[in-house]
Amino acid sequence: MNNSISGSLGLIATLFSITAITAQPQAGLAQPKSASLEAKVAKIAQATPAKSTDSDADALGKIGEQPAPGQQQTKTDIVAKVHTHEIGGVQAATIYVRNIPVLTFTMPQTASNGTKLGTSQSEEVVTRKSKAISSESMDSTGGSSKVSEASTVQDPTARASAIAAKLNQLYQSGVDAKQISVSWKSEKNSSSEQYVIKADRSDVVTIDAQTYSPDTSKNLERDALQVTNRLRRLLGEASPVSQVDGKPKTVIATTSFSSGTALSSTQGWASWYGPGFDGNHTASGEIFNQEAMTAAHPSLPMGTKVRVTNLDTGRTVLVRINDRGPYHGGRILDLSAGAARVIGVMDSGVAPIRLEVMGR
């Protein structure tokens, strides 16, 4: 009986061993679809890296990317963008900084002879050179070698894009907005004033007849200050400035007649002239100098001294009549460019004045 029991136990042990061996996976054989949950979990774990490892690597990478002490981190934001449009049917472009309109560019106005109005001699030389360059359309190999620079200089979209790129570069380099300023500029033989906006002592943009504030007041000095203060605020929250650097104090031309008793007084509108007339003969026979304190009047005797007060600005200048005109627009006086600049008529074009005859 003992032998029978021992034999049965041996048979059971043999069967258990065979079952255990069969249950283990064999190398090179495909696993059944009903693989155990533990095997699936192990397989997923091997295919997917642990999230903690990625976080640690990212943290190490970010630490390595931090700028060294004292080194400024570069910004990549685009804050200045250009929007094209038209003003009175003329092509224009406006720069928006943080969605705020800051600068508007327009096409230059031209006279009937094709000369740009309000252009200084140096600008005209640049324009002529640009036209000469654009005329050289073919190089020695027969290919195009030059692109018209004159059209690029005048195109408002191209000019706006260039200034927008400057503004983005200034912002990305971390410009100190407190260093954004505006200064006065006047070239010899120029018929108009210009205001140069600078950042860190480098020129950014010039405010002139074709570049001004979108909310222009028709006064270039006010436009220049407005553009400057918007850039100071939008590029760095700097406080506004209230004056233009380098602009000379208003000089009131005076003689013994300026403080004397006027022989007669009248009010009306005055304009100014200069470009295209400088160096020509006036009605009195003398050579016209647009920077001299002179004026044209329809009927006052040549050589008459008149005191002219701009009723908008309160500024006064004493001028001498040496020419005839104006004969249109109901205007009573045509000031030289120099006299108009003194009392602030140049920016507005025309202005209400008080004209007092002082004598000869």
Residue 29 has pLDDT above 70, yes or no: no
CA-to-CA separations, 194 to 120, 189, 191, 207, 290, in angstroms, rounded? 11, 13, 10, 6, 17
Residue 7 is predicted with a pLDDT of 53
Point out the least confidently predicted range of 60-69, 274-283, 313-322. 60-69
Residue 8 is predicted with a pLDDT of 53
* Omega cis (within 30) before 326: yes
Average pLDDT over residues 17-26: 47
Tokens in use for 245?
């650097």
Give the count of alpha carbons within 13 A of 113, CB side only.
4
Banded model confidence at residue 144, pLDDT cuts 50, 70, 90: very low
pTM, entire model: 0.46
Q: What share of the chain has pLDDT > 90, as a percent?
A: 46
Residue 3 has pLDDT above 60, yes or no: no
pLDDT, mean over the chain = 74
Residues comprising the chain, all counted = 360
Residue 273 is predicted with a pLDDT of 92
pLDDT tens sequence across 234-273: 999 999 998 888 876 544 444 444 556 888 999 999 999 9
Residue 120 has pLDDT above 90, yes or no: no
Q: How many CB atoms lie within 10 A of CB 234?
A: 20
Q: Which helix (H) or strand (E) holds 213?
A: none
Residue 82 has pLDDT above 60, yes or no: yes
Structural domains of the chain ordered from first start: 80-107+155-236 (no CATH), 264-359 (2.40.40.10)
Q: Provide the b/e sequence for 161-176 (b: ≥16 CB within 10 Å).
A: bebbebbbebbeeebe
d(CA 3, CA 327): 146
pLDDT tens sequence across 90-116: 999 999 999 999 999 998 754 444 444
